[in-house]
Amino acid sequence: MPLLEVSDLRTFFKTREGEVHAVDGVSFSVEEGKTLGIVGESGCGKSVTALSIMGLVQSPGRVVSGTAVFDGRELTTLSEGELEDVRGREIAMIFQDPMTSLNPTLTIGTQLTETLRRHLNMSREEAKKRAVELLEEVHIPDAARRLKDYPHRFSGGMRQRVMIAMALSCNPKLLIADEPTTALDVTVQAGVLDLLEELRLQHNMTMIIITHNMGVVAETADDILVMYAGQVVEQAPAVELFDRPEHPYTEALLGSLPDIERENVRNERLVSIPGRPPDLLVPPDGCRFAVRCKYAGIDDCDKIAPALREIRTGHWVRSTHPASERSAATVEAAR
Amino acid sequence: MSTDPRDTSFEAVHTSTAEVEEETLARSTHRRRSDFEDTLTRTAEGQGREAGGALPRASLWKDAYYRFIKNKASVVAAVAFVALLAFCIFVPIFSNEDPYAVDFSQAYEPPSLEHPFGTDQFGRDVFVRTALGGRVSFAIGFAATFAIMLVGITYGATSGFIGGKLDNALMRFLDALYGLPYLPFAILTLAIFGTVNFWTMVVALTIASWFTTARVMRGQIMTLKQNDYVRAAYAVGASRQRVLWRHLLINTLGIIIVFVFLELPGVILGEAFLSFIGLGINPPKASWGTLAQDGYTEYQVHPWLIVIPSLMIAWLILSAFFIADGLRDALDPRMKEA
């Protein structure tokens, strides 16, 4: 049984113009001990999916339908109090911007021990001892003294380490990392990713890593979920996805990565995907990628929405013309 | 972490730099080389120290204190404020004058060594009476400011934290109250109570002036609510109450402190005004407002009777405003980088 099984999750945001379908029928599952990478461009619903699982979607947003079964428990129907016990204790989350994710008016120690005392009923001394251990675990030097420091005395990378320590403090089964490295320097990014992997193995944790950086998922994820306009468009094991991408969107995403080893690459232009994602107030009837897709218009995919189907074992795709089913004529026509 | 390939590449860079130096500066190679190493070690030590946190620890409040001290006008104002407070507290304790003893032979004495502020129509020493009046003014001011903070913060924080329809309703109600003019509102409240004493005065002033605090608090809470650390706190299982106290209200403390010093002079001025138009504390007790009102009738002949309490009020208001100004600069987190 998978540790987390999300099915047909829909989260809408009420606005003056109507309901924005931010997450529209997302289904996936994560096996225990695995890492799932969720990729997609800004606004495709990655973060909202994570927040929906945690029950942290704020008004005017709400989870309209769908289920999220975690460790045999249905999360979407839990009360606020029950959710509070799950958050931080069983599912932890780290956020994109470590510079703003710590309260500037409380010391690191206070913020770390609060979680411990809340979930594990530790005494002040026990919590303090554990907090020192945690800071050491995330490789912060002189941990005992650093507990008394305020967040502004930590650099971005250090703060993200503190956030990771906080997230891991109660040994959660699942860690959701929402763009954990986006706000960091490239060199620091590598360090933080290494640390996450090290701790994941140590604590035998399951992880969902949300990012728009293909490099990050390539390095960390076992399975990859590609999202577009609130829907899952492709899901496959990481190696398979990089080797044999099926959905035109995934292909385009991978195609837009510059290959620094190719000759004359400095004189080439960076490749981008033309057009913009559809307005999620009124999602198109057909395939949501149709307007930007090279292969659209050949069939009626821009009128009838394609369903997510398993094209190979473990490889799911939502397209009527995935790479392996395209005829030479189709490819020619697209040119 | 430390077995990272990047580390070795850095080492390679260092070695090659040293090698280049060796070649180009053949004669003083040895010296140069050791200098270079010295610099490297020293830098490393320096960085180690910083990462270890051996630098003097600066807390938020200590930082704020140093920033406040830098603002000369505010420091002068703070000294003036404390001096005024000390005057009101200590003069009646150490003075031999009886502030209530009537002696018509001494009436309307101009300021002298014996009576530094002169005497009033009953021959009472104005110096001691001013200090006593100051006690009343300060007491009403502090009590009313405290009450305003209590009501304003509760109302504003509730509105901002819960948001939605309740927020809308509470704020529209506040808008309606805003429409009512301040002093007539206070007068009306006093009229409803029928009597004027310390507590009715405090209540009247509070009712008339808690709106701004509530509005500012609501705005603060709404802004703070959007912070990532609030979301992060929810994500580790913090309850709504906990978030409100630990992450929102505590972060408004700076604003609250500034607001205390902004409300205090307003309230004291309001009290003085109410006293001046005859709705003040009953004689023989006095506040600065009632003292000024007593002096008003004689201002052409014995000007000190109105000038002195007026100066006291002005002194208090100016110093409080300058303190508020300094505190705002000192406690504003955006000033930290400067």
* Strand A309-312, strand A61-70: pairing: unpaired
Nearest CA in chain B to A107: B59
Which residues belong to CATH 3.40.50.300 in chain A?
4-221
Q: Identify the CA nearest to A326 among candidates A242, A251, A236, A272.
A: A251
Segments of chain B assigned E as strands: none
Backbone dihedral angles phi then psi of residue A211, each to the nearest 5 degrees: -160, 165
pLDDT category at B334 given cuts 50, 70, 90 is: low
pLDDT category at B253 given cuts 50, 70, 90 is: confident
pLDDT in tens, B198-223: 898 899 999 888 999 999 999 999 99
> What pTM does this model have?
0.74
Predicted local distance difference test score (pLDDT) of residue A152: 85
- From A89, A146, A191, residue closest to B237, measured CB to CB: A89
Give CA–CA dist B156/B148, Å, rounded.
Answer: 11
pLDDT in tens, B154-188: 999 999 999 889 999 999 999 998 888 877 888 88
Question: Does the beta-carbon distance from A101 to B232 stay under 8 Å?
Answer: yes
pLDDT in tens, B88-142: 899 888 877 777 777 777 777 777 777 777 777 777 888 888 888 889 899 999 9
CATH number for domain B60-335, candidates 3.40.50.10860, 2.60.40.1930, 3.40.1160.10, 1.10.3720.10: 1.10.3720.10
Nearest CA in chain A to B57: A149
Contact A237, A223 (CB under 8 A): yes
Looking at residue A285, its amino acid is D
Segments of B2-130 assigned E as strands: none
A chain contacts of residue B246, beta-carbon cutoff 8 Å:
103, 106, 114
For the four alpha carbons of B259, B264, B266 and B267, in that order, the dihedral sign comes to: positive
Q: What is the ipTM of this complex?
A: 0.81
The two structure tokens encoding residue A129: 């001892």
- pLDDT by residue for chain A (335 residues), tens only, comes to 789 999 999 999 999 988 999 999 999 999 999 999 999 888 899 999 999 999 988 888 999 999 999 998 999 899 988 999 999 899 999 988 888 888 888 889 999 998 898 889 889 999 999 999 999 989 899 988 999 888 888 988 899 999 999 998 989 999 999 988 888 888 888 888 899 999 999 888 999 999 988 888 888 899 999 999 999 999 999 999 999 999 999 998 888 887 777 777 777 788 888 888 888 888 888 889 888 888 887 778 888 888 889 999 989 999 888 888 877 767 777 66
Give CA–CA dist B42/B26, Å, rounded.
Answer: 24
Q: Where are the domains of chain B?
A: 5-52, 60-335
Q: Identify the CA nearest to A49 among candidates A86, A96, A12, A102.
A: A12
Tell me the three state secondary structure of residue A95.
coil
B chain contacts of residue A197, beta-carbon cutoff 8 Å:
none
Does residue B54 surpass a pLDDT of 50? no
Could you tell me if B235 lies within 8 Å of chain A, comparing CB atoms? yes
Q: Does A4-221 carry CATH code 3.40.640.10?
A: no
- Cis amide linkage into residue B283, ω under 30° from 0: no
The two structure tokens encoding residue B124: 């009472």
Question: Does the beta-carbon distance from A88 to B163 stay under 8 Å?
Answer: no
Question: Does the beta-carbon distance from B229 to A56 stay under 8 Å?
Answer: no
